[in-house]
Structure 1
Amino acid sequence: MPIAGLTTVTQFLTFHLEQEVFAIDISKIKEVLEYSDVTKIPRTPDFMCGVINLRGSVVPVVDLRAKFAMPHSEKTVNTCIIIIDVIQEDETTVIGAMVDSVKEVMELDPNQIEPAPRIGTGLRSDFVRGMGKQGQQFVILLDTDRLFSHEELSVLQDAGSKSGTKSPQVENAA
């Protein structure tokens, strides 16, 4: 049974964290960057790497491995930063998500996507939009708008604004 809200073929950018394959709806992605040095900001959450300068805007960068409580990994030539739009409460925040490597853009038909499994009450999985199937492998589809709590997003926005330049917020025109 397909998940609600997906009625047409949708494109997703797939990426690796450890051996797992994750995906984000391509409409949420602004660009993919090679990893570059990140300016650390003191007193930020463990999953926040710091900030980067993206054409004059300060963009907070988060380590998705740390966000998902995965073991730390050294950066490699394949490490990338995916620039995504996160929308909460009619406000868009631009965030960089550091991943092990980007795999490909893939299309999924709604009948190739299953709802996220119920994992019990102790684990937070509301940011999993669904499970896509590519051949025999599952792809975890992320809901970027639910990836961060309101409080976490506020900390990320504050870190960007305290670094000395304008915070990367854009009003949602929709």
Structure 2
Amino acid sequence: MDIDTPIEALTFDLQGETFALEAGLVREVLDLLPETAVPGAAAFVGAVINFRGRIIPLVDLRLAFDMPAGEPTIDSRIVVIEYELDGEATLIGLRADKVHEVTSVAHDTTEEAPRVGMRWRPDFIRLLARRNGDLIIIPDLDQIFAARGRSSATATPINALQS
């Protein structure tokens, strides 16, 4: 990654916190769609949606960050991303409380998450960015999907490091 090139990112809210995903992952931002619950599935990926004739999993990142699920609002959206899981490009829907915009995040405004003092698992955070006095969390989807989604994404859960 070239440190002179800013990260183009889609910003969105989860429980009042601002998160960002690299814009290159985003395929579409959708209004809420009817969901089908998946019996026996973990709450993190407890439903699927029909996206243009394809059934795709619907992920709630709030649950990965131990936030309450929350009820959808008029601002709630589904961010459809294309992400490589188990060596295959996979469409995934992510719940968002509100989607903002695509913005540039300069590398000199980012830093790694501190290993202590965080209310969330630091391995779930790829970078933290500062913008106009606010904090933007860029999640580490590899770590989140490996730990919560039980994929074989190339990541080591933090508990494995502590044994």
TM, length-normalised to structure 2: 0.82
Q: CA offsets per residue over residues 62-105 of structure 1, 9 Å max, x none?
A: 12222221123111111111111222442222110111111221
**Per-residue deviation at 1:108?**
1.2
**Quick one: which amino acid aligns to residue 128 of structure 2?**
M
Q: How many residues align?
A: 152
Cα deviation code 1:34-85 (max 9, x no counterpart): 1122011100001224111111111100122222211231111111111112
1:73 to 52, 55, 70: 70
Point out where structure 1 has 5 or more consecutive residues left out of the alignment. Answer: 155-174
| Equivalent residue in structure 2 for 1:132, among 121, 124, 129 | 129
Match of 1:14 in 2: 11
Distance 1:35 1:60, change over 3 A: same
User: Could you list the runs of 4 or more consecutive aligned residues of structure 1 that deviate by over 6 angstroms after TM superposition?
Assistant: none
- Mapped pair 1:57 → 2:54: yes
Matched, 1:30 2:27: yes
- Asked whether the equivalents of residues 82 and 97 of structure 1 are also in contact (C-alpha less than 8 Å), the reply is yes
1:48 aligns with 2:48: no
Instruction: Report 1 or 2 for greater relative contact order, CA contacts < 8 Å, sequence distance ≥ 6.
Output: 1
Q: CA RMSD in A?
A: 2.5
Select which of 107, 110, 115 maps to 1:113: 110
Q: How high is the sequence identity, in percent, across the aligned residues? A: 36
Show structure 2 runs of 5+ residues with no match: 152-163
What residue identity is the alignment partner of 1:43? G
- Provide the TM-score with structure 1 as the length reference: 0.77
Corresponding position of 1:142: 139
Offset, 1:151:
7.3
